[in-house]
């Protein structure tokens, strides 16, 4: 006959095992759902905290950055309207016959930026070139004002206008030499006639040369949206300072590649035009070509008789590798350094002559107006 104590113990063990098995089964069924709910609740709490932070102050400055920049720079951006009378051959023939002329009016709408409170405005030369009349529409009044052409520089594609107004909001200049690829920038202008449109992007490249096949120009490249009508408007940095004057695009419409004249160049040209009415550029009387094979430097191919280069002893075959301590990568860079050097200043050229390095001091002359 079985022992009652042993039977009781066996029953208890079976009950315990059955209970544990039931708990394990319930856990397998319920735990994934419960775990998901816990994780989802945690995620919702994190999202709520993020939204709360954004609604308070932590992320507000980031969201307000764009609007602050527009408030700072926007009032100094103007619309420029240039008009030209266009006469066709048929118009000329009618005029010779004494018939009434039917001249067409060609209009160009572009942008400009106020650089002095007494009505000084900077824009692109190609905007006002050959214009019969130029008008500027200010933010404050909205009325068009006749603009006088103070001076222009076709080589840098810049022009200075003046309107009869004072106490205008003035844009501040930044240091374009400190810009690095990847920095955020904003373009403000009047693309396609849409007043003070704001776009933003990054600096995609610096020191772009040969864009318009002009040795006197170098550009900042940006992917900020630039379209016809942006020409002459400011490119500004994160501090609201002008670091460029938007000038050109690739193709007829926006493709993500736009170009701006560096602000430091634009400021210097503007100041020289205001001071003298024109821009003077350095001159040595030497012709260079870039070194083939990807090597740095420019090969002297000709030296003008009686020129500063000739008086300094430069000769065909010399390879110019340095300009006042700066490396010369090619002939285009040499031209840029030369034309920006002060007239009458003395600079040191580093040459390679017969395989030996040689330092030569030259005095910068004034470039003839027909060059």
Q: Which pLDDT tens digit goes with each residue over 115-170? A: 999 999 999 999 998 888 999 998 766 778 999 999 998 888 999 999 998 888 89
What share of the chain in percent tops pLDDT 90?
31
- Do 190 and 197 contact (CB within 8 A), yes or no? yes
Which pLDDT tens digit goes with each residue over 21-65?
A: 665 565 555 555 555 555 655 656 666 665 565 555 555 566 677
Mean pLDDT of all residues in 9-20: 63
Respond yes or no: is residue 231 known to be catalytic: yes
Confidence of residue 277 (pLDDT cuts 50, 70, 90): confident
By CB atoms closer than 10 A (0-12, 13-18, 19+), residue 97 is exposed
Q: Rounded to the nearest 5°, which phi and psi values hold at 228?
A: -50, 130
Catalytic residue among 231, 237, 290, 331: 231
Catalytic residue among 157, 223, 237, 318: 157
pLDDT at 246 (0 to 100) = 93
- Does the predicted TM-score (pTM) go above 0.75? no
The overall average pLDDT reported for the chain is 81
- Do 160 and 119 contact (CB within 8 A), yes or no? no
Respond yes or no: is residue 361 known to be catalytic: no
Respond yes or no: is residue 126 known to be catalytic: yes
> Nearest-5° angle of CA 230, CA 232, CA 235?
75
Which pLDDT tens digit goes with each residue over 315-342?
A: 999 999 999 888 888 887 888 888 778 8
Catalytic residue among 126, 153, 223, 318: 126
CA 222 to CA 216: how far, in whole Å? 20
Q: Which domains does the chain have, with CATH numbers?
A: 77-163 (2.40.10.10), 176-276 (2.40.10.10), 282-366 (2.30.42.10)
């Amino acid at each position: 006959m079985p022992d009652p104590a042993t039977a009781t113990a066996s029953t208890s063990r079976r009950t315990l095992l059955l209970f544990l098995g039931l708990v394990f089964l319930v856990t397998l069924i319920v735990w994934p759902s419960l775990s998901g709910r816990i994780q989802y609740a945690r995620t919702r709490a994190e999202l709520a905290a993020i939204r709360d932070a954004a609604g308070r102050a932590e992320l507000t400055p980031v969201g307000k950055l764009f609007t602050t920049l527009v408030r700072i720079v926007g009032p100094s951006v103007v619309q420029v309207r240039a008009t030209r009378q266009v006469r066709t051959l048929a118009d000329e023939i009618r005029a010779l016959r004494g018939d009434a002329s039917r001249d067409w009016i060609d209009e160009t709408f572009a942008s400009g930026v106020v650089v002095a409170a007494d009505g000084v405005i900077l824009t692109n030369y190609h905007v006002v070139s050959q214009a019969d009349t130029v008008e500027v529409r200010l933010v404050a009044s909205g009325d068009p004002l006749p603009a006088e052409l103070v001076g222009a520089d076709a080589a840098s594609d810049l022009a200075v206008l003046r309107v009869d107004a004072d106490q205008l909001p003035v844009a501040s200049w930044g240091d374009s030499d400190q810009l690095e690829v990847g920095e955020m920038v904003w373009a403000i202008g009047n693309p396609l006639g849409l007043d003070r449109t704001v776009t933003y992007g990054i600096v995609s490249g610096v020191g772009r040369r040969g864009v318009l096949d002009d040795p006197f120009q170098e550009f900042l490249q940006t992917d900020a949206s630039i379209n016809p009508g942006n020409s002459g408007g400011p490119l500004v940095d994160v501090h609201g300072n002008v670091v460029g004057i938007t000038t050109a695009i690739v193709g007829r419409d926006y493709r993500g590649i736009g170009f701006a004249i560096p602000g430091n160049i634009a400021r210097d040209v503007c100041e020289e035009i205001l001071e003298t009415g024109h821009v003077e550029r350095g001159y040595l009387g030497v012709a260079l070509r870039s070194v083939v094979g990807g090597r740095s430097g420019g090969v002297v191919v000709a030296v003008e008789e009686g020129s500063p280069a000739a008086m300094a002893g430069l000769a065909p075959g010399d390879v110019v590798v340095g300009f006042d301590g700066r490396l010369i990568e090619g002939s285009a860079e040499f031209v840029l350094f030369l034309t920006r050097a002060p007239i009458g200043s003395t600079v040191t050229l580093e040459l390679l002559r017969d395989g030996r390095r040689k330092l030569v001091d030259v005095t910068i002359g004034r470039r003839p107006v027909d060059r």
